[in-house]
Chains A and B, each alone.
Chain A
Amino acid sequence: MTGELGQLALCLALALSLVQAFAGFTGASRGNVRVMAMGRGAALGSFVFIALAFFTLMFAYVTSDFSVQVVAENSHTAKPLIYKISGVWGNHEGSMILWLLILGVYSAAIAMTQPTDNTANAELGSRALGVQALIAIAFLVFVLLTSDPFGRLYPPPFEGNGLNPLLQDPGLAFHPPLLYLGYVGLSAAFSFAAAALVDKRNDAAWVRRARPFAIAAWTALTLGIAAGSWWAYYTLGWGGFWFWDPVENASLMPWLVATALIHSMMATERTGAFKSWTLLLAITAFSFSLIGTFLVRSGVLNSVHSFANDPRRGLFILMILFVAITAPLTLFAWRAPKLSPGAAFDLASRETGILLNNLLLTAAAATILTGTLYPLVLDAAEGIKISVGPPYFSATVVPMFALLAVLMPLGPIFMWRRTDWRASLYKLRFAFAAAMAAMLLTLAILRPDSVLGLLAVTLGVWLIGGSVSDIARRAGSFRKLRHLPASAWTSALAHAGLGVVALGVVGATSWKSEAIQVLSPGQTMNVGGYALRLDATEQVQGPNYTADRAAITVMSNGRIITVVHPEKRSYPVEQMVTSQSSIRTTVLSDLYVVLGDSREGGGWVVRAYVNPMAPFIWLGAVVMAFAGFIALGARLAAKLRAARAGAVTASAAAE
């Protein structure tokens, strides 16, 4: 019964989305307040029904209702509750429902923050809701036609197939929702941009409405990518954190464009520069989200973590992608001559910095896209099978990011429109000194063998130092730190966060030590200053797996530090084996131990890494996301203050 309820809810959501699209566009063009209100109501209603469908599916998972096909295929009664819940989005059908749910969240947020009068701003929002509805319609039809999550099995099996054990992990339980909050959040910026193109006013008002959504999407995307990389780091047992896998690239490309977008939006809102470019970026950012969805869902890419797929779905998403890119671009080409030119600025100005930021970020996204699609093109054209590996991406993306990092501390120091570049550079003297000191220290103490590592340390310290000196200069003294505007903190934290990531990346790549050896109980191996002694291995029983569990004593300079227990787990239901690596972290460094397979004579393969500074990768990402939260919080606080002030003046007027 519940399955049919979910299907009905999806159909009702589709009907309401049609109303939303119609009311959103006609209400705005007629300037009719009541029709626009109908559009907002339909947006909220459609969100409620999608949420109903989502929770119906979740209910089927939690109660292990195996008459629903996707539940039977992806769940099992013995699975812990949290993975029954996260199992909802652990497969194609369920993840599309999550996609729709989050689209609904953003549509509802647009509807709730929208003015109720018939001002230009209200009409803009109404049209944006119309565009959101069109996207929702496309994906609802996609789900209902090609990926019905509520299909039944008759007779229902007694037990389900279980969920891929690699996905039974807290890191991965939250990775897809965060990633989708980012991916789909870019739809809001897209919708406002498209609405502004339909609108005849052609001003930059849309940026003011769209910017919070873009920042929210960027923040979620940052956290989502970090969660995915963290998961890969500790579950895959290779000690790596980023593999330039097509699926990872699919999430990095929208992030790069979204980063460019939030910067260019800042310039457009502040000074009116880059008007057309910001419109284009908003369209491009969401297009990259759709490209990502297409690459992951269609199965055209050979990826280690693509879901099951079906060519029909790929074709459908390709069609959505085609319309979503060509329709607004056509509109743009038609409107562009009428767009007022962007405001002028000097060569030495913050706008120039943002321009360079945008160029480098979009170029990086384009080269990643090239590397991701090249194997597809070559296979289709000549039948040659190749793969483009990490060396390509390092060779192209790393130099662009290095250049970006060199320029980043200049941005917040430079003024809008025009600036005295000599005085600005002088403000960075301490950051420069810190970066040089870091470089010399690294050279003297570590004698690194890679130039790249040295460069990254220097640039990491340069970024962090630039942020610190910017904050210090603006505040002047410790006591005034509290009174700094939020915008000073956001740029400083976001830029410093990238510096922290850079340090982590160097540690986990250039400076890691690695050892692999066959150990019999009692034998010892050395890695990065630690001695590891295999004491014993035993068989243990988990909730839905059995495992070989090793006890390995970690010693440093003859002193026992700790005992680690890496495991090799075997899941009987899913017939899979996974490695549970053991990571001992001091935040400054990770000791990462993996248990391999057993060998003749009672030996076990043990692989160990020491990754200095590796946790900085995720720490830095959290710092960057925190900057996003501050930006959003400051806006919310300002809005609440304005509302309270409005209420006060209203009550004062009434008296």
Chain B
Amino acid sequence: MTPKKQRRLAFAITLLLAGGGAAALAVYALQDNVLFFYSPSDIIAHPEKVPEGRAFRIGGLVEQGSVKRDRGLEVQFVVTDGKNAVPVTYSGVLPDLFREGQGVVAMGTRANNGVFTAREVLAKHDEKYMPPEVVDALKRSGHWQEGQKGPGAS
């Protein structure tokens, strides 16, 4: 092989190794770090999908009158999609836009007694904005009114 061809070969091999390495890293990282999204009805219908201790995201509306704050840090509320509901506990500072009757997405784990412990309650930046997953969950449970403000309505 001429030196030039050698260099080309070395270049191609480096490129392949780098590309392959990056792809392998990406696939490996994706397997472990993906969070699934379920609505309350999904969880009631298929509890086997959410074994205890496995982190996932839940979304729906914060049920009217369900938010309980006591003297301590803990806040309790119920996430509903109109058909089914899941109780949630969270200790920490709730996002500024957290309100009863509003859409919410929470990330955390579910215990066998059915209570979802949220590690993170996702903030929205705009009260008119409804997370698309929540819109979808409400549509599936038949509690979405057409013409209601959805993603991109504002």
Contact A299 B151 (CB under 8 A): yes
With A517-B73, A575-B127, A576-B97 known as contacts, the answer to whether A385 contacts B22 (CB < 8 A) is no
Q: Is the CB of B71 within 8 A of A600?
A: yes
Given the known interface contacts A302-B133, A392-B30, A395-B25, the answer about A384 and B36 at a Cβ–Cβ threshold of 8 Å is yes
Check if A516 sits within 8 Å of B34, measured CB to CB.
Answer: no
Cβ–Cβ contact A576 & B127, under 8 A:
yes
Distance, CA A392 to CA B26, complexed state (A): 8
**Residue B126 lies at the interface, judged by CB distance under 8 Å to chain A:** yes
Which one of A347, A392, A578 contacts B33 once the chains associate, using CB atoms below 8 Å?
A: A392
Q: A389-B33, A395-B29, A577-B96 are in contact. Are A302 and B132 (CB under 8 A)?
A: yes
Chain B residues, CB < 8 A from A518 = 71-73
- A516 near B25: Cβ-Cβ < 8 Å: no
Contact A577 B152 (CB under 8 A): no
Q: A359-B14, A386-B37 are in contact. Are A594 and B93 (CB under 8 A)?
A: yes
> Smallest Cβ distance from A602 to chain B, in angstroms?
10
The number of A-B residue pairs with CB atoms under 8 Å apart is 129
Which residues of A343-381 have CB atoms within 8 Å of chain B's CB atoms? Answer: 344, 347, 355, 359-360, 363-364, 366-367, 370-371, 374
Q: Is the CB of A396 within 8 A of B70?
A: no
Best-surrounded residue of B22, B73, B123, B133 (most CB of chain A within 10 A): B22
Question: A603 contacts B30, CB within 8 Å?
Answer: no
Instruction: Tell me if A324 counts as interface (CB < 8 A to partner B).
Output: no
With A371-B26, A603-B71 already in contact, the answer to whether A363 and B7 are too (CB < 8 A) is no
Q: Are B19 and A363 in contact (CB under 8 A)?
A: yes
Verify if B94 is at the interface (C-beta below 8 Å from A).
yes
Closest to A602 in B: B71
A480 to B140, alpha carbons, bound, how many Å? 72
Q: Which residues in B have their C-beta under 8 angstroms from that of A563?
A: none
Q: Are A387 and B26 in contact (CB under 8 A)?
A: no
- Chain B residues positioned under 8 Å from A574 (CB to CB): 127
Q: Is the CB of A371 within 8 A of B22?
A: no
Identity of the chain B residue whose Cβ is nearest the Cβ of A575 in the assembled complex: B127
**B35 CB–A CB distance under 8 Å:** yes
The segment from A42-50, A303-311, A462-470 found at the interface with B is A303-311
A601 contacts partner chain B, Cβ-Cβ < 8 Å: yes
Mark interface residues in A193-225 (1 if CB within 8 Å of B CB, else 0).
000000000000000000000000000000000
Per the bound structure, the CA–CA distance linking A516 and B69 in Å amounts to 15
B119 → A minimal CB distance (Å): 11
Known: A386-B36, A516-B92. A359 touches B15 (CB 8 A): yes
Provide the bound-state CA to CA distance between A576 and B95, in Å.
11
Tell whether, in the assembled complex, residue B34 and residue A386 are in contact, meaning their CB atoms are under 8 Å apart.
yes
The interface residues of chain B lying within 8 Å CB-to-CB of A302 are: 131-133, 151
**B154 close to A (CB within 8 Å):** yes
The answer to whether B93 touches A396, judged by C-beta atoms less than 8 angstroms apart, is no
Which residues on A sit within 8 Å (CB–CB) of B28?
395
Q: Mark B1-43, 1 if CB is under 8 A from A, else 0.
A: 0001001001100110011011001101110111111000000
A605 proximal to B (CB < 8 A): yes
Contact with B along A565-604 (1 / 0, CB 8 A): 0001000001111110000000000000010110111010
- For residue B134, which residue of chain A has the nearest CB? A302
Q: What residues of B have a CB within 8 angstroms of the CB of A601 in the complex? A: 71
A386 to B42, CA, bound (A): 14
Give the distance in Å from the alpha carbon of A302 to the alpha carbon of B133 in the complex: 8
Report how far A367 CA is from B71 CA in the complex, Å. 45
Known: A304-B124, A347-B10, A517-B73. A310 touches B94 (CB 8 A): no
Mask for B137-154, Cβ within 8 A of A = 1, else 0?
A: 000000000000001111
Complex Cα gap A164–B128 (Å): 10
Asked whether B136 is an interface residue with its Cβ less than 8 Å from the other chain, the reply is yes
CB distance from A275 to the nearest CB of B (A): 14
Contact A310 B127 (CB under 8 A): no
B44 interfacial contact with A, CB 8 Å: no
Q: Are A371 and B73 in contact (CB under 8 A)?
A: no
Q: Is B110 an interface residue (CB 8 A)?
A: no
B35 close to A367 (CB less than 8 A): no
Set B22, B93, B151: member contacting A597, Cβ < 8 A? B93
Q: Which residue of B lies closest to A301 (CB)?
A: B132
Chain A residue numbers with a CB within 8 Å of B94 are 596-597
Name A535-576 residues within 8 Å CB distance of B.
568, 574-576
* Minimum CB–CB distance for B43 against chain A, Å: 13
1/0 contact string of B102-139 vs chain A (CB within 8 Å): 00000000000000000000111111010111001000
Which residues of the other chain, A, contact B151 by a CB distance below 8 angstroms?
A: 299, 302, 309
Q: How far is the CB of B63 from chain A (nearest CB, A)?
A: 18
Q: Quick check: is A318 within 8 A (CB to CB) of the other chain?
A: no
**How many whole Å from B150's CB to the nearest CB in chain A?**
10
Shortest Cβ distance from A13 into chain B, in angstroms?
A: 28
A607 at the interface (CB under 8 A from B): yes
A395 touches B33 (CB 8 A): yes
Q: What chain A residues lie within 8 Å of B10 (beta carbons)? A: 347
A-B interface, 7 closest residue pairs, ranked by CB to CB distance from nearest: A363-B22, A596-B93, A385-B37, A395-B29, A392-B33, A391-B33, A577-B96
B positions within 8 Å CB-CB of A: 4, 7, 10-11, 14-15, 18-19, 21-22, 25-26, 28-30, 32-37, 57, 69-73, 91-94, 96-97, 122-127, 129, 131-133, 136, 151-154
Chain A residues in contact with chain B, CB under 8 A? Answer: 73, 164, 166, 236-237, 299, 302, 304-305, 308-310, 344, 347, 355, 359-360, 363-364, 366-367, 370-371, 374, 384-389, 391-392, 395-396, 399-400, 516-518, 568, 574-579, 594, 596-597, 599-601, 603, 605, 607
Give 22 A-B contacts (CB < 8 Å), ordered by A residue: A237-B96, A302-B131, A308-B154, A309-B151, A344-B7, A355-B11, A355-B14, A363-B21, A363-B22, A364-B22, A366-B22, A367-B26, A386-B35, A387-B57, A392-B34, A395-B28, A396-B29, A517-B73, A518-B72, A576-B97, A597-B94, A600-B71
11 more CB-based (< 8 A) A-B contacts, given A236-B123, A388-B33: A73-B154, A164-B126, A302-B131, A370-B30, A385-B133, A391-B29, A392-B29, A395-B25, A516-B91, A516-B93, A577-B97
